[in-house]
Amino acid sequence: MAQSADVKVLPDIQASKLKVTNTSRPLPKCEPEELGFGKVISDHMLMIQWSAAEGWNAPEIVPSGPIGLHPFSHVFHYAIECYEGMKAYKDSDGNIRMFRPEKNMERMNVSASRLCLPNFDGDELVKCIKELLRLDRDWIPQKKGYAMYLRPVMFSTTPWLGLTQCSEAMLFVLQSPVGPYFKSGYVPIKLHVDAKYIRAWPGGTGNVKFGGNYAPTVASQIAAAKAGCSQALYVYDKEEWVTEAGTMNMFFLIKSTSGTLQLFTPSLEDGCILPGITRLSVIELAKEWGTEVVEEPLPLKIVIDACEQDRCLEAFGTGTAAVLQPVGALQHNGKDYTLPEDGFAEGSFQMKMLAKLKEIQYGEIEHPWSVCIT
């Protein structure tokens, strides 16, 4: 339908309008082994401003550095903020590759909508991100297990103390060259079932990457560490429905009492689970391999019973940061449940899955999920 002349169509993000300001003071680089996770920022960042009156302004790539904001900015007071986590990999030919970036764009728009932040054209933002990656390509470590972590983030800069719908916002894409997420690498971790603090509940915001979901989980991490575990496994309700662990989606490979192998992961429909792109990829690959995937609300009892009867063969978490994290044990009500060691050894389901994901991410095999940007 034609727009009537008096309806002003506000501009969306337009990559063709991108302005680039090169840094005059390159930041210090370090050896890949010293990178850690998310400590080092690369030379440039992408910045786009939005206002209800003007829509999306021209995107800008600027030297990474501090930003000035009005102290009343909504983000500081009401946490009106959402983010994404994605990675760019360098393959053995030195090409830069992204992994299913359109999924991150879709999810960020869903998160933004939940917080009444503006939506944007994801294809255009990906084009801008590609430029950002090309500009800082020397920052991307060319080593398996290493990558450029990309952190898109959008927040309300509306400068009033009144809580209202966003009228001014900012979108950044920050870049951090990273090494393996867990210092211990692919060593199995122990999860602490946290029944005290609830991460997500039906009708809440657990299914969007909203900053406010994460602040309250620091206490759970501390409780997990006190219990001698490395991450919290979040459950909710008296049934203790399994949701996620740390910032990872959870999978359990369980042999049914009749002997069939089933890969369990909590389903998305009640809104308690962050729809992970690694999660989706694991589900799709598992189905391709002929593994039965059970995507349903998952009571912890199913897992605990399977552990007690030696039917829980494997458990692992998934997420962009760690890709896949083996779980070696669970602690529930002070009791330890240990999983079999061959569950995370060479040849296990999860190690095959990890190898497959990495092959795709590092472009060792041609696959439509890997977007090569040269």
Ligand X SMILES: *Cc1c(COP(=O)(O)O)cnc(C)c1O
277 contributes a contact to ligand X by CB under 6 A: yes
Q: CB of 282: closest distance to ligand X in angstroms? A: 9
The one segment of 17-25, 33-41, 185-193, 271-279 that binds ligand X by CB under 6 A: 271-279
153 contributes a contact to ligand X by CB under 6 A: no
**CB crowding 227-264: b at 16 or more within 10 Å, else e:** eebbbbbbbbeeebbbbbbbbbbbbbbbeeeeeeebbb
Give the closest residue to 341 by CA, choosing from 181, 187, 185, 224: 187
CB atoms within 10 A of CB 30: 11
Q: CB of 75: closest distance to ligand X in angstroms? A: 18
244 contributes a contact to ligand X by CB under 6 A: yes
Q: CB of 9: closest distance to ligand X in angstroms? A: 32
Query: CB of 252 within 8 A of CB of 312?
Result: yes
319 contributes a contact to ligand X by CB under 6 A: yes
Please report where in the chains the tokens 């002929």 appear, as a residue.
Answer: 290
Alpha carbon distance 166, 214 (integer Å): 21
Residue number, 97 or 209, with CB nearest to ligand X: 209
325 contributes a contact to ligand X by CB under 6 A: no
Q: Is residue 156 classed as helix, strand or coil in its secondary structure?
A: strand
354 contributes a contact to ligand X by CB under 6 A: no
Query: CB of 91 within 8 A of CB of 363?
Result: yes
The residue from 73, 207, 320, 350 that contacts ligand X (CB under 6 A) is: 320
Residue number, 231 or 249, with CB nearest to ligand X: 249
Paired sense of beta strands 168-178 and 147-156, if any: antiparallel
# residues near ligand X by CB under 6 A = 14
The residue from 74, 190, 279, 311 that contacts ligand X (CB under 6 A) is: 279
Spell out, one character per residue from 190 to 229, where the chain touches ligand X: x when CB under 6 A holds, - when not. -------------------x--------------------
Residue number, 73 or 320, with CB nearest to ligand X: 320
Q: CB of 249: closest distance to ligand X in angstroms? A: 5
Residue number, 29 or 358, with CB nearest to ligand X: 358
Give the closest residue to 247 by CA, choosing from 203, 267, 277: 277
CB atoms within 10 A of CB 123: 12
Residue number, 10 or 218, with CB nearest to ligand X: 218
Residue number, 248 or 353, with CB nearest to ligand X: 248
Please report where in the chains the tokens 């809580």 appear, as a residue.
Answer: 163
Q: CB of 340: closest distance to ligand X in angstroms? A: 25
249 contributes a contact to ligand X by CB under 6 A: yes
Alpha carbon distance 363, 315 (integer Å): 27
Q: What's 89-147 look like in SS3?
A: EECCCCCEEEECHHHHHHHHHHHHHHCCCCCCCHHHHHHHHHHHHHHCHHHCCCCCCCE
Q: CB of 284: closest distance to ligand X in angstroms? A: 13
152 contributes a contact to ligand X by CB under 6 A: no
Residue number, 58 or 285, with CB nearest to ligand X: 285
Query: CB of 97 within 8 A of CB of 224?
Result: no
350 contributes a contact to ligand X by CB under 6 A: no
Reading phi first (left if > 0) and then psi (alpha if -120 to 50, else beta), residue 228 is in left
Residues within the interface to ligand X (CB under 6 A): 85, 209, 244, 247-249, 274, 276-279, 318-320
